[in-house]
């Protein structure tokens, strides 16, 4: 009887220890599976358990120089979080104008076109045409210049809760596709600014805006597909276009009407301003980097507007190292066009010239190229411009005029 009792207790103790070991092992497996899912995106046990996240802190900056900590979340959670955090500061931009109604002659003229008769009246147009976001609680709104390019029209800003404000003042940036709208409002929700210089291809992003000028506060998601792109953008109410350099490419759906809205990172910080979509393609959209916007805002606040910003008056593209070697020319900004009456024209610069240095700085060594160097100046500044023409290097002093 004694031997039987001893063996029984030994078995019980062994099973008890095995049970504890198995419990610890399963707990470790559960936690490690969740962490693998969060960090590397490999489905783990939490898909079954429905965990929201794990406590793996990521430190970043919220644009206000305050360090914040946030847990890594699954995709659905971060998108919801970003939308809820940023949407109160995202607005719709609408246009109001009277447009003449013309009556077409029902008969063709000799050249095969309809003849137009005098106006038979006017039609009042009120429609959503773009997006924007609030950057100051006293009513400063950022959008694209091409959204508010019609100087004869009036514009309104509509918040998420449906409040409508008349735009009292518009300042259009002469160098970039940006505009700042001023409305009479206080205590408005604002966005946090990120850092576009720290972006990486493959990074997750969220876009918010009024898609197709009809569906307000549409949220789309994607990744950064490319950086430093050069595009021809436009498509505003009057269909103007503009060449833009150093923009962000994303596969987040950006439709007409999204122009001027924010492109956000997973922390809800603005890292770009949605500006264009590639025509005839899918999942290719573009945004201006937010650091460009921060520079423009500094200029706006310090000088009371964009009117005093320096303007050289050239259209150009940057020559790559490979192209420079093949064509036996220096790297720099190749001038496609020089605007008549501009600072560049007055200094004798011509189409075909290659600007190598601007105010003593090598153009090829500056991220963002010539545009960044010009943006650091103000109207009235005199700078030295070194350029290459017909196999010779030349230097000329240029007095920068104000942008129009």
Task: Report the catalytic residues.
Answer: 146, 177, 259
Checking 17-24 for CB contacts under 8 A at 24+ apart, the result is: none
Pairwise CA distance, residues 192 & 124, whole Å: 37
234-273: b or e for each residue (b if 16 or more CB lie within 10 Å)? Answer: bbbbeeeebebbbbbbbbbbbbbbbbbbbbbbbbbbbbbb
Pairwise CA distance, residues 131 & 309, whole Å: 25
Structural tokens at position 5 = 């009792």
Position of tokens 């001038």? 335
Pairwise CA distance, residues 401 & 380, whole Å: 6
| Closest alpha carbon to 274 in 284, 260, 253, 256 | 260
SS3 45: coil
SS3 content of the chain, % helix, strand, coil (to 5): 25, 45, 30
Structural tokens at position 151 = 């100087």
340-359: b or e for each residue (b if 16 or more CB lie within 10 Å)? Answer: eebbbeebebeeebbbbbbb
């Amino acid at each position: 009887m004694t031997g039987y009792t001893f063996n029984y207790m030994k078995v019980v103790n062994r099973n008890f220890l095995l049970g504890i070991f198995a419990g610890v092992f399963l707990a470790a497996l559960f936690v490690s599976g969740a962490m693998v899912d969060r960090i590397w995106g490999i489905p783990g046990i939490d898909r079954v358990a429905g965990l929201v996240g794990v406590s793996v802190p990521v430190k970043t900056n919220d644009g206000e120089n305050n360090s914040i900590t946030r847990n890594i979340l699954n995709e659905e959670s971060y998108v919801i979080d970003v939308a809820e955090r940023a949407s109160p500061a995202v607005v719709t931009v609408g246009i109001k104008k009277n447009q003449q109604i013309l009556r077409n002659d029902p008969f063709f003229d000799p050249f095969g076109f309809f003849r137009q008769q005098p106006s038979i009246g006017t039609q009042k147009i009120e429609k959503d045409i773009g997006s924007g976001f609030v950057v100051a609680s006293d009513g400063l709104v950022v959008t694209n210049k091409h959204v508010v390019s019609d100087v004869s029209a009036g514009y309104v800003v509509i918040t998420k809760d449906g409040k409508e404000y008349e735009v009292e003042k518009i300042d259009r940036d002469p160098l970039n596709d940006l505009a700042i709208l001023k409305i009479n409002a206080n205590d408005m929700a604002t966005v946090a600014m990120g850092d576009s210089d720290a972006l990486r291809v493959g990074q997750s992003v969220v876009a918010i805006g009024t898609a197709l000028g009809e569906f307000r506060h549409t949220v789309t998601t994607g990744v950064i597909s490319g950086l430093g792109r050069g595009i021809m953008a436009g498509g505003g109410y009057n269909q103007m276009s503009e060449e833009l350099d150093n923009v962000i490419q994303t596969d987040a759906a950006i439709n007409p009407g999204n122009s001027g809205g924010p492109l956000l990172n997973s922390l809800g910080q603005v890292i770009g301003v949605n500006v264009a979509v590639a025509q005839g393609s899918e999942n290719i959209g573009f945004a201006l980097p937010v650091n460009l916007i921060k520079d423009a805002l500094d200029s706006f606040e310090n000088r009371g507007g964009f009117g005093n910003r320096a303007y050289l008056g050239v259209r150009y593209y940057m020559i790559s190292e490979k192209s420079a070697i093949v064509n036996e020319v220096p790297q720099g900004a190749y001038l496609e066009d020089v605007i008549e009456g501009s600072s560049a024209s007055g200094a004798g610069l011509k189409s075909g010239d290659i600007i190598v240095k601007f105010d003593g700085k090598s153009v090829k060594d500056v991220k963002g190229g010539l545009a960044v160097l010009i943006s650091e100046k103000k109207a009235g500044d005199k700078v030295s411009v070194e350029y290459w023409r017909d196999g010779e290097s030349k230097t000329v002093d240029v007095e920068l005029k104000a942008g129009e």
